[in-house]
Structure 1
Amino acid sequence: MLRPAAPIVALFVVVALARSGEIPLAERRSSYEHMSAETKAMQDGDTDNPGMLWVLDGEARWRVKAGKAAVACAGCHADAESSMKGVAARYPAFDPERRTAVDLAGRINICRVERQQAPELARESKDLLALAALIARQSRGLPIRSDDERLKPFIEAGRTIFETRRGQLDLACAHCHNDNWGKKLAGITLPQGHPTGYPLYRLEWQMLGSLQRRL
């Protein structure tokens, strides 16, 4: 699993405070620890990480004027390296106007519609993933914030989903990612549920993808 720009965004249930049944903070581990030496080397080097192709594409898209307003992202935000530093680490964030939580991709589309007067970019589209990867890269190494009280209902809703059994196997997300992490399943080491590096490049996909795709 390659993360061209991490951390990016956390699943609500993961960023909540530790409680019974959750992995204690001192025991939380990145999936990076389960990678082979070859995969780690591919992720660590920007020149070797295929996810960087989307970041480079995002840099180009950042400067392209779009929509009826004929405005580029750079037209409002200037250089992404400085203006977007720490931005992705704040998402998902509560949007007061919409009275709901919005993820990074959602915020990009809000800007497209309201500022550029352009149609939304489709989820998992090349352009949306590229812009998200570019913005997320500027938060690499920064802690993810989850201290907005308005997010609590969404965190609890995510927790319920994470802990609820479903499907033919009658399993919850927590059964693998909280209770049995580090163990093998079909030859694959089960990771903890820390989706903090999305969008990211997965070897099985051979492309960049969002957290929603992984879920």
Structure 2
Amino acid sequence: MTRKVTLGARLSPVLAVFALALPLHATPVDDQLVIEGENGPVEIVTEAPAPVHLKGVLETIYSGWRFRNAETRALERDDFDNPGMVFVDRGRDKWNAAIGAKGESCASCHGGPESLKGLRAVTPRVDEKTGALMTLENYIDTCLTQRMGLESWNWTSTDMSDMLALISMQSRGMAVNVAIDGPAAPYWEQGKEIYYTRYGQLEMACANCHEQYFGHMIRADHLSQGQTNGFPVYRLKDAGLLSAQKRFVGCVRDTRAETFKPNSPEFKALELYVASRGNGLSVEGVSVRH
């Protein structure tokens, strides 16, 4: 059974030892990100004032890019060097392919992928017609199953990763701006509760690493604020592309807890909340992390 307790002032024994080993001060690197792409350079905002809802918690928010080493940061500066661009190219091939039950393609309805510019910057969001909380994966799945007569793609499949990469690229450089009020409010509150709840044998919450100890080292990894503006992410450690929810799975398992599944109500709510913590940072399209 998953162990779950609310995050309070008390540290678990594991975190107490971890905290004693940390340096007193740790900051993200002072660097700027300008990406050279096929349409010219794109300046990426990697530092911004924290959203109002984080008042008293964080003053400044930083992209995870600012917490990586120089070699990893350099890979994202040029699309020619970025290994994640392979997934974008494959996504473009799928976009134009006649994969529907009646020969439909994504292009036959939407035209070019640039027609979805801005979608990545505002998702997850609540659909006006259905009232459902929708991630990019949900929109892709709706097109596949309701408009093209296909079976759902697995949420962590190569096909889904390719399409996520292509669609996310269309919003590169745009500010993350997910809504947290109105119909999104109850989902946002659910995600916030999950963020601050301890899980697993290690009794750790998202906030323990990404709020209390960002900038410090945990083993060989430099802890970031856990922002999702860079997702999908090409992670060098995994030699593959990860969605936000796929990374959530890894984080929860690291606490030695039974994880929620991708596309679960819990992870969709958590993705909305975590995305809102990065409102104001730029969508990076396909980022590189280690």
TM-score (norm 1): 0.87
Equivalent of residue 211 in structure 1, options 240, 244, 251 = 244
Match of 1:135 among 146, 167, 178: 167
User: Could you tell me whether the CA contact under 8 Å between 2:92 and 2:166 is conserved in 1?
Assistant: yes
| Cα-to-partner distance string for 1:139-174 (whole Å, 9 max, x where unaligned) | 011012223521111111010000011111111110
Q: Write the deviation string for residues 88-107 of structure 1: whole angstroms up to 9, x where unpaired.
A: 11211112444320100111
Q: CA deviation at 1:176?
A: 1.0
Match of 1:89 in 2: 121
Alignment correspondent of 1:18 = 54
Letter in 2 for 1:197: G
- Aligned ranges 1:142-161 → 2 under 5 Å: 142-147=174-179, 149-161=182-194
Paired residue type of 1:32: W
1:55-204 matches, cutoff 5 A? 55-81=88-114, 83-147=115-179, 149-204=182-237
Query: Structure 1 CA distance, aligned partners of 2:231 and 2:63?
Result: 13
Q: 1:184 to 1:140 in 2, by over 3 A?
A: same
Tell me which of the two structures has the higher relative contact order, counting C-alpha pairs closer than 8 angstroms and 6 or more residues apart: 1
* Partner AA of 1:178 in structure 2: E
Could you tell me how far 1:210 is from its partner in structure 2?
Answer: 1.0
Question: Cα–Cα, structure 1 residues 155 and 19, in superposed 2: closer, same or farther, change >3 Å?
Answer: farther
Structure 2 CA distance for aligned equivalents of residues 201 and 187 of structure 1: 18
Change beyond 3 A, Cα 1:167–1:16:
farther
Partners in 2 of 1:187 and 1:44 — Cα distance? 23
Contact 1:67 1:116 in 2 (8 A): yes
CA contact (8 A) 1:89 1:139 kept: yes
Larger Rg: 2
Instruction: Give the gaps of 5 or more residues in structure 2.
Output: 1-34, 43-49, 249-290
Please identify, of 100-109 and 187-196, the stretch whose mean Cα deviation from structure 2 is larger: 187-196
- Per-residue CA shift, 1:15-38, capped at 9, x if unaligned? 782244x322xx211121122221
Percent identity for Structure 1 against Structure 2: 33
- Residues 111, 64 of structure 1: CA spacing in aligned structure 2 closer, same or farther, 3 A cutoff? same
Contact map agreement 2:124 2:135 (CA 8 A) in 1: yes
Q: Quick check: 1:30 aligned with 2:30? A: no
Structure (1/2) with the larger strand percentage: 2
Distance 1:16 1:98, change over 3 A: farther
Letter in 2 for 1:23: L
Quick one: distance in 1 between partners of 2:204 and 2:111? 47
Task: Tell me what 2:280 maps to.
Answer: none
Q: Deviations over 1:48-78 (max 9, x none)?
A: 1110000000110000112323210000110
Q: Give the 3-state SS of the residue equivalent to 1:178 in structure 2.
A: helix
Q: Write the distance in 1 (CA, Å) between the matches of 2:100 and 2:158.
A: 17
List gaps (5 residues or longer) in structure 1. Answer: 7-13
CA offset at residue 205 of structure 1? 0.8
